[in-house]
Amino acid sequence: MNTNSLLEIQDLRVSFPLDEGTVQAVAGVNLAIQPGQVLGIVGESGCGKTVTAQSLLRIIPPPGRIDGGTILFRSSKQSGNGKDENIVDLAKLNPKSEMMRRIRGNEIAMIFQEPMSSFSPVHTVGSQIMEAILLHQDLSKQAARERAIEYMRLVGVPGAQDRMDDYPHQFSGGMRQRAMIAVALSCNPSLLVADEPTTALDVTIQAQILDLMRRLQQQFGMAVLFITHNLGVIAQIADHVAIMYLGQVVEQAPVREILRHPKHPYTMDLLRAVPRLGKTAGQRLVAIEGSIPSPLQRPMGCPFHPRCSKMIPGVCNTHVPQWVALNEIHSVRCVLYEPNAPTPNLEPANVRAASTLA
Amino acid sequence: MSEPRPHLLKVKNLKKYYAARQGMFGDGSGTVKAIDGISFHIEQGETLGLVGESGSGKTTTGRVILRAVEPTEGQVLFRLNGGGITDFTALPKQALRAFRRNVQMIFQDPYSSLNPRMTVRDIIAEPLVVSGLAKGSEIDDRVRQVALRCQLNIEHLRRYPHAFSGGQRQRIGIARALVVNPKFVVCDEPVSALDVSIQAQILNLLMDAQQEFGLTYLFIAHDLSVVEHVSNRVAVMYLGRIVELAPTSKLFYQPLHPYTEALMSAIPDLDPDRMMQPKILEGEIPSPANPPRGCHFHPRCAYAQEICKTTVPEFKEYKPGQFAACHFADQLQLQGALKSN
Amino acid sequence: MASATGVSGRLGWFRRAPQDTDARDAEIKYYTASQFQLIWWKFKRHRLALIGTFILALFLVIAVLAEFLAPYDPFNRNAEYLFGPPQAIHFFEDGTLHAPFVYGITFAMDPVSFQLSVKEDTSVRIPLQLFVHGDAYKLFGIFPTDIHLFGVEKGFVHLMGSDKLGRDLFSRILFATRISLSIGVIGLFIAFFLGLIIGGISGFFGGAIDNVIQRFIEFIRSIPTLPLWMALAASLPKEWPPLQVYFAITLIIGLLGWTHLARRVRGKLLSLREEDYVTAAKIAGSSDWRIIFRHMLPSFLSYIIVDLSISFPYMILGETALSFIGLGLRPPVISWGVLLQDAQNVRAIALYPWLFAPVAFVVLAVLAFSFVGDGLRDAADPYSR
């Protein structure tokens, strides 16, 4: 593990054995997050971004299972004799173990797209924030209540004192998301996993939440793994970006680098495919052809090759591209950048297979 | 905007009120004013974008215009091909059904908008069959023709919707709308349920079809980048009223209404160096069941004055083609999402 | 979550063939499958439901062919064998295999208690035979014949014993199956008809009509079921012939079962009205009738079938309970409940436990319907995501 990474995922594989076949939801993901960094994961449906996040906390829904790879996490909790640092492989832990439970919520917190489902409808919002605080901190009930009000203020719930005793359904979507952030922050995590936290919100509320998260991230100095499908949101909040497609990270780089100098054909096409203010009005967009394959029928070779505009027959449809570091900050998984790329294997079978898939 | 094109559609003071039950026993009665008196027109062959956040009434507007839901008050007038004016809202049942072939709709959710128990062929053919425009083999010919145009594999016509991905389902929905050669189509968030890489395909298809068949669109969306991309003019709704309506270029460079400004400041820009500076709006969108008095936007407006709390601002033309409902529209200097340089 | 469960929702229960061309064919088959094919494929994978279906099919055969399957006429008395215990079927004697047979019966009087005890007489072997001539009957009420599926030529065979008049319990249970199931079916039909009409009116028109109907349904449902049944059944004149009582009881059971169905129909109609595809049909210019029959009815048919199969056990249990306490069907009509009337006292439990055999049939029928209902409920909406 890199000396200063907070989290390093290597060759993570997660599959869901279903009746009609096995879905490789995560097929060899490599990621690294530095302390205090905001890493954005962008991808479309079925790219495995949510499952990747779920495997960090070991909350993959059944029948999903981790088949291989490591998730190294630098666990550092204050103990009796100062700071105690050790590296844990989350992929090897038992999801129900004491250790995992301690990390979950204490060191890694998570917020979701739909905050309603993570609140109990029969308890007040305030009591649920207090519960989270009491779980992690040794405080009296009164002190916990004051701390909870403090957190509610911090996340910008107006009239925090009065709204403590409201139930989740009395909160609007945006306010609920704020309350959930308060719960997540209550344990002062070193990593916050945010799974599409603004997708269900209106634009003006999304802007508020992004603004809030940016502020709190700096204030608390925590690392954030921010999952979204919206490239605009990622540009606004992330330091680093990982682009995922069908269970693999295809490109990772700092946000400016990836938006200005994308290397992977998927990233390039994706950036061209979104309407941009003042640039594309009235013109045709450069669309990515075809549709996202069913995860049950992962294409051979590079998973993107059937839709790729730079597909090389005989290579892309047979050879699985390797994860190549272009420089210290920019890595990509595409045969175009492989130093020892295989030469096209133009046996008729391969070429035909490629053309029918395309 | 070179020369004004003839109006295809005119909406006059359209209202849709719902009776709302309040209180534990449904005793407290109230009205939700989903649409509270909106007026606008759409020119032949143009796309009018309609944006707003949840509760703004934009979806209801689309449905009321097509009389999927009956309006409470107001008129929807059509003038097809420069012919006579039809008062769509006053058409009796039979005439209404006959007129429907001219106006169609594309839905947001590609899953619930297709009957899962019908084959794709039957789904696309339905408007054709019920309008009696085609008979027998003509139906199949026309279905195949329009399916091909929407880039569907015609071998898949006998399949059921469960065989298709979201993007393909949306193509089926578009084919169904286009099969009767309509003049006017309401696109209700047609791409917001789709993946980014699929959105572009559908947007292109919609824009190509517009060119090819001379369609007029009412394009409802919450994504301003998409609206800017497709629309000639844009109307902004807030709590059941249109607060601003202007040509796309004008609106995005120099909005007249503070809400439009706030909305635009919240668009997350793809350029990380153009950090958005959202005009943080105070509070949340109020419930349409209990909207604020005066200008609906005043509790969240940074420029609000005394008059805004009491008097509803008039929706009128401040600059050529630019309409707004704000007491200070001609005094404020507001920021658009785009800067002219 | 997004990827994997999304897929399992869409394709999860569809088994894909392993080979390339097979897979393609299977895919096309799946993609062109109609609603009922999809339901069947999904239903097939529910093992308990399949077992339930099998049992129900068996019951159906019994109901239709009771005369042929039963070895005796249900009213035929065997004066030699009153309250006789079940006779076991044997295959072996002294270690050698024989065709199935039963032993003859001898009676012995306990010299102390004077209790008559029944013993197998191992010296008399009575072989069971297929297609024997026995009591005359008319198959399907038309073809006169006297052939029974099995029986004995000499002596007698009572697989489940006999009752106080020496009538063969097994035969009586088979005949009772017919009556009990028919009460369920007809009762359900009445309930279904009422539920569909009243629920349909309620859901389609809405407003004040809906309100009145719903309050009425609530009123009916607030009356405790069993006392109401009893009151209604008790009000039937004693002098009515059995057939008339039969129809009256069916009507009572059906009349009280519709409220649940009416509510389901209404709820489903209301939710369907909001579906985008119904709006789409309206915008396309479809008539109300077309919308109802083409779009709404097919999607709710499957739910109605589920509800019917789940309501069925209540109908059977209702009849059984009423007849058991003597307010329902009366002899000579034979139903499971009527048969159980004989098993109403402690003496019967202690001395003639075989009189409880009909209970096993009731339990089996109710369980089978519940399993099938469960399986259908899971399969009913093959499009759920």
Same structural domain, C290 and C231: yes
Same structural domain, A94 and A1: yes
Q: Which residue of B lies nearest to C385 if distances are taken between CA atoms? A: B111
Q: Which of these, A266, A212, A260, A274, lies nearest to A244 by C-alpha position? A: A266
The pLDDT value recorded for residue A63 is 87
Supply the mean pLDDT for chain C. 75
A44 → closest Cβ in B197, B207, B222: B197
Residue B17 Cα, gap to closest chain C Cα (Å): 16
Q: Which residues of C touch A48 (CB under 8 A)?
A: 3
Same structural domain, A271 and A343: no
C277 → closest Cβ in B104, B114, B127: B114
Same structural domain, C351 and C204: yes
A235 → closest Cβ in B196, B225, B270: B270
Q: What is the tally of structural domains in chain C?
A: 2
Query: Is residue B90 in a domain?
Result: yes
- The parent domain of residue B86 ranges over 7-238
Q: Which residues of B touch A241 (CB under 8 A)?
A: none
Same structural domain, C146 and C234: no
Q: Do C13 and A21 touch (CB under 8 A)?
A: no
Whether chain B has a CB inside 8 Å of the CB on C34: the answer is yes
Q: Which residues of B touch A277 (CB under 8 A)?
A: 224-225, 228, 252, 267, 269, 337-338
Amino acid (1-letter code) at residue B51: V
- The parent domain of residue C274 ranges over 171-380
Q: Do C283 and B68 touch (CB under 8 A)?
A: yes
Query: Is residue C236 in a domain?
Result: yes
Q: Which residues of C touch A46 (CB under 8 A)?
A: 2-3, 6-7
Least confident of A60-69, C120-129, C288-297, C364-373: C120-129
B267 → closest Cβ in A232, A259, A287: A232
Query: Is residue A327 in a domain?
Result: yes
Same structural domain, C200 and C263: yes
Whether chain C has a CB inside 8 Å of the CB on A51: the answer is yes
Which whole number is the average pLDDT over C187-191? Answer: 84
Q: Do A18 and C16 touch (CB under 8 A)?
A: no
* Cα gap A310→A304, rounded to integer Å: 10
Q: Do A294 and C11 touch (CB under 8 A)?
A: yes
Query: Is residue C27 in a domain?
Result: no
- Domain boundary among the residues C112, C132, C160 is at C160
Hey, which residues does B31 pair with through a beta bridge? B19
Calculate helix-pair angle for A203-220, A173-185, nearest 10 degrees.
10
Residue C109: band (very low, low, confident or very high) from pLDDT cuts 50, 70, 90? low
Mean pLDDT per block of 10 residues along chain A (358 residues) reads 83 87 88 92 90 91 90 75 75 86 85 80 88 83 89 84 86 85 86 90 86 89 93 92 93 93 93 85 83 84 90 87 89 89 64 45
Chains that touch C (3 or more CB pairs under 8 A): A, B
Same structural domain, C376 and C230: yes
Q: Encode pLDDT of C126-158 as tens digits.
A: 777 777 777 777 777 777 777 777 777 776 777
Residue C51 Cα, gap to closest chain B Cα (Å): 28
Query: Is residue B18 in a domain?
Result: yes
Q: Which residues of A touch C2 (CB under 8 A)?
A: 45-46, 49-51
- Domain boundary among the residues C110, C136, C160 is at C160
Residue C116: band (very low, low, confident or very high) from pLDDT cuts 50, 70, 90? low
* E strand or H helix at A200: none
Same structural domain, B306 and B159: no
Q: Which residue of A lies nearest to B200 if distances are taken between CA atoms? A: A287
Q: Could you give the percent of chain C with pLDDT greater than 70?
A: 85
Residue B127: band (very low, low, confident or very high) from pLDDT cuts 50, 70, 90? very high
Query: Is residue B122 in a domain?
Result: yes
Higher pLDDT, A263 or B28: A263
What Rg, from alpha-carbon coordinates, does chain C have?
Answer: 27
Same structural domain, A6 and A55: yes
Q: Which residues of C touch A47 (CB under 8 A)?
A: 3
Give the number of beta-carbon pairs within 8 Å between A and C: 55
Q: Which residues of B touch A282 (CB under 8 A)?
A: 229
Residue A120 Cα, gap to closest chain B Cα (Å): 21
Same structural domain, B165 and B265: no
Query: Is residue C58 in a domain?
Result: no
The pLDDT value recorded for residue C13 is 38
Best mutation target among A13, A14, A18 (most C Cβ atoms within 10 Å) is A18
CATH of the domain at A240: 3.40.50.300
Which whole number is the average pLDDT over C207-236? Answer: 81
Q: Do C31 and B159 touch (CB under 8 A)?
A: yes
Same structural domain, B123 and B271: no
* Cα gap C194→C207, rounded to integer Å: 20
Please, are residues B27 and B20 in contact by the beta-carbon 8 Å criterion? no
Same structural domain, C144 and C287: no
The pLDDT value recorded for residue B21 is 57
Same structural domain, A71 and A47: yes
Q: Which residues of B touch C382 (CB under 8 A)?
A: 116, 162
Query: Is residue B246 in a domain?
Result: no
Query: Does the pLDDT at position B99 exceed 60?
Result: yes
Query: Does the pLDDT at position B235 exceed 90?
Result: yes
Same structural domain, A230 and A245: yes
Query: Is residue A200 in a domain?
Result: no
Higher pLDDT, B321 or A83: B321
Residue C93 Cα, gap to closest chain A Cα (Å): 50
The pLDDT value recorded for residue A192 is 93
Same structural domain, C195 and C228: yes
The pLDDT value recorded for residue A352 is 47
Q: Do C283 and B100 touch (CB under 8 A)?
A: yes
Higher pLDDT, C233 or A10: A10
Same structural domain, A260 and A353: no
- Domain boundary among the residues B238, B264, B288 is at B238
Alpha carbon distances (Å) from C352 to A25, A174, C173, C346, C348: 63, 71, 16, 10, 5
Q: Do B228 and A236 touch (CB under 8 A)?
A: no
Count CB atoms within 10 A of the CB of residue C25: 12
Q: Do C1 and A50 touch (CB under 8 A)?
A: yes
Same structural domain, C248 and C327: yes
Please, are residues B124 and B115 in contact by the beta-carbon 8 Å criterion? no
Query: Is residue A52 in a domain?
Result: yes
* Cα gap B88→C296, rounded to integer Å: 27
* E strand or H helix at C99: strand C96-109
pTM of the model: 0.81
Q: Encode pLDDT of B58-93 as tens digits.
A: 999 999 999 998 999 999 999 887 678 889 999 998
Query: Is residue A11 in a domain?
Result: yes
Alpha carbon distances (Å) from A51 to A6, A34, A88, C1, C247: 19, 21, 20, 6, 60
Whether chain C has a CB inside 8 Å of the CB on A45: the answer is yes
Query: Is residue C346 in a domain?
Result: yes
Whether chain C has a CB inside 8 Å of the CB on B95: the answer is no
The pLDDT value recorded for residue B1 is 45
Same structural domain, C186 and C265: yes
Query: Does the pLDDT at position C66 exceed 90?
Result: no
Query: Is residue B200 in a domain?
Result: yes
Q: What is the tally of structural domains in chain A?
A: 2
Q: Do B203 and A285 touch (CB under 8 A)?
A: yes
Residue C381: band (very low, low, confident or very high) from pLDDT cuts 50, 70, 90? low
* Cα gap A21→A297, rounded to integer Å: 9
The pLDDT value recorded for residue B220 is 95
Same structural domain, B259 and B217: no
Same structural domain, A271 and A340: no
Same structural domain, C125 and C192: no
Same structural domain, A356 and A289: no
Residues B86, B87, B93, B99, CA torsion sign: positive
State the residue for tokens 């408007």. Answer: B127
Query: Is residue C2 in a domain?
Result: no
Same structural domain, A227 and A97: yes
Best mutation target among B106, B126, B165, B180 (most C Cβ atoms within 10 Å) is B126
Q: Could you give the percent of chain C with pLDDT greater than 90?
A: 1
Same structural domain, B159 and B223: yes
Query: Is residue B124 in a domain?
Result: yes
Chains that touch B (3 or more CB pairs under 8 A): A, C
Residue B96 Cα, gap to closest chain C Cα (Å): 8
Q: What is the tally of structural domains in chain B?
A: 2
Query: Is residue B1 in a domain?
Result: no
CATH of the domain at B100: 3.40.50.300
In terms of DSSP bridges, do strands A240-245 and A38-42 run parallel, antiparallel, or are they unpaired? Answer: parallel
Query: Is residue A308 in a domain?
Result: yes
Which whole number is the average pLDDT over C328-336? Answer: 76
Query: Is residue A171 in a domain?
Result: no
Q: Do B114 and C282 touch (CB under 8 A)?
A: no
- Domain boundary among the residues C160, C188, C203 is at C160
Whether chain C has a CB inside 8 Å of the CB on B176: the answer is yes
Whether chain B has a CB inside 8 Å of the CB on C282: the answer is yes
| Interface residues of chain C, partner chain A, Cβ below 8 Å | 1-8, 11-16
Q: Do C7 and A295 touch (CB under 8 A)?
A: yes
- Domain boundary among the residues B186, B203, B238 is at B238
C283 → closest Cβ in B104, B112, B156: B104
Same structural domain, B212 and B99: yes
Q: Going by C-beta distance under 8 Å and a sequence separation of 6 or more, which residues neighbour residue B86?
A: B77, B78, B79, B80, B99
Greatest mean pLDDT among A99-103, B29-33, B67-71, C101-105 lies in B67-71
CATH of the domain at C312: 1.10.3720.10
ipTM of the complex model: 0.86
- The parent domain of residue A1 ranges over 1-101+223-275+285-297
Query: Does the pLDDT at position C14 exceed 50?
Result: no
* Cα gap A269→B185, rounded to integer Å: 29
B109 → closest Cβ in C276, C290, C383: C276
* Cα gap C127→C103, rounded to integer Å: 8
Query: Does the pLDDT at position B341 exceed 60?
Result: no
Whether chain B has a CB inside 8 Å of the CB on C272: the answer is no
Residue B135 Cα, gap to closest chain A Cα (Å): 33
Q: Do A281 and B248 touch (CB under 8 A)?
A: yes
Same structural domain, C184 and C304: yes
Terminal-to-terminal C-alpha distance of chain C: 13
Least confident of A53-57, B35-39, C96-100: C96-100
Query: Does the pLDDT at position B332 exceed 80?
Result: yes
Q: Which residues of A touch B226 (CB under 8 A)?
A: 275
Query: Is residue B324 in a domain?
Result: yes
* Cα gap C285→B174, rounded to integer Å: 16
Which whole number is the average pLDDT over C163-173? Answer: 78
Same structural domain, C109 and C254: no
Residue C378 Cα, gap to closest chain A Cα (Å): 16
Q: Do A235 and B208 touch (CB under 8 A)?
A: no
Same structural domain, B226 and B287: no
